[in-house]
Amino acid sequence: MKPITHTVWILSLVSLFTDMASEMLYPIMPIYLKSIGFSILLIGVLEGLVEAVAGLSKGYFGQLSDSKAKRAPFVQLGYSLSAISKPMMAFFVYPLWIFFVRTTDRLGKGIRTGARDAMLSAETTKANKGKVFGFHRSMDTFGAVLGPALALGYLYFYPEDYINLFYIAFIPGVLAVIASFLLKDKKVEISSEKKKISFFSFINYWKQSPAEYRKVVIGLLFFALFNSSDVFLLLKAKEAGLDDTWVIGIYIFYNLIYALTAYPLGSFADKIGLKKMFIFGLIIFSLVYFGMGLTTNLYAIIALFFGYGIYAAATEGISKAWITNISKDENTATAVGTYTAFQSIIAMAASVMAGLLWFYFGASVAFIVTAIATVLVILYFVGNFSATTN
């Protein structure tokens, strides 16, 4: 089977264009919201609510995709909602409108995630799953390099012209939608048993899922509980002496390392096993966080961001490849959606916890607590799975 098929290429290009659009706005979103009157508290409430919507909807729409035995319509609708939300941010500045638009964007992510990953999984075998998911993550993350770079370039020539950036971001968003309509569904076996799908019914999958799936996801979710937002790493870089432009630059640098290494590390994971590659990524993550907690040297922090890119490449696509390997084909979108739904909710708690630790005990404690917790996760994965577990 050809590892990088026509469908994998299309899905990867769709993700690249979408991430380019989203990440073009990521660095300027808090600045823009403050400029139209949002307080820091209101920004926090906004982002928390929209991420909750995205997280919970991943589980629901993943299960719905499996029950309908359809992938492409969910992918197309999800990317379309995200695309049209970009210029809508520029129309009005009312808080309720901004909440509606941001929710539309994140709902699009929730609709497409499970179906997209199930579609990717259907293009693989167990022998090349790491390579395919790694390739997709690599292309997706190149969008996270191009987007902020374009935003920086534009704002250099047109400072504080945020409104036009929302319109510019619509262009790659439209390209993503056009590409998504080149996708075609493969025939998927559908159960003759009719199941009623409610918004929270994906939780029932947890009880019915294979024991190995639950063991893997428990470890992943415990890690997610301590894996706070990248914002804290960027704040550390700013504290070390970088100005705002260089902070965005180091974020681009991290994504570039991630993009360049995701595909080769995914390919290598197919040879050594997905579990081993994931554990390698966790080891790198713990070293990065120990380093962030113990150093204030600017050059050391830049080197740690290099390591952080390696960690992301070794874990993010690999974790989904691992989950799809231990799920039945007819439940792939549900399995991925259930995991990502729980992960999204727990990620919010992780950032709140990290913020509290930083506020009361300082940055060093926040980073070192996360590093120690990650060591416990590594021991869990080493001790709870056989050497043959992929």
Are 334 and 62 spatial neighbours (Cβ–Cβ below 8 Å)? yes
Percent with pLDDT over 90 in the chain: 49
Question: What rounded mean pLDDT belongs to the chain?
Answer: 87
DSSP string, 272-310: H-HHHHHHHHHHHHHHHHHHHHH---HHHHHHHHHHHHH
* CA pair distance 283, 371, nearest whole angstrom: 9
CATH H-level, domain 6-186+203-384: superfamily: MFS general substrate transporter like domains (1.20.1250.20)
State which residues of the chain have pLDDT below 50: 387-389
* CA pair distance 285, 251, nearest whole angstrom: 16
Global pTM?
Answer: 0.88
Q: Give me the helix-helix angle, 298-325 and 95-121, nearest 10°.
A: 60
* CA pair distance 277, 311, nearest whole angstrom: 10
* CA pair distance 65, 72, nearest whole angstrom: 9
* CA pair distance 327, 126, nearest whole angstrom: 12
Question: What confidence score (pLDDT) does residue 387 get?
Answer: 43
* CA pair distance 55, 106, nearest whole angstrom: 9
The identity of residue 366, as a single letter, is: A
Which segments of the chain does DSSP mark as H helices, in order?
Answer: 6-25, 29-35, 40-68, 72-88, 95-121, 129-157, 162-180, 203-208, 211-226, 231-239, 244-272, 274-294, 298-325, 332-361, 363-384
Q: 297-343: per-residue pLDDT in tens?
A: 888 999 999 999 999 999 999 999 999 998 888 889 989 989 988 88
DSSP string, 17-82: HHHHHHHHHTTTHHHHHHHTT--HHHHHHHHHHHHHHHHHHHHHHHHHHHHHT--HHHHHHHHHHH
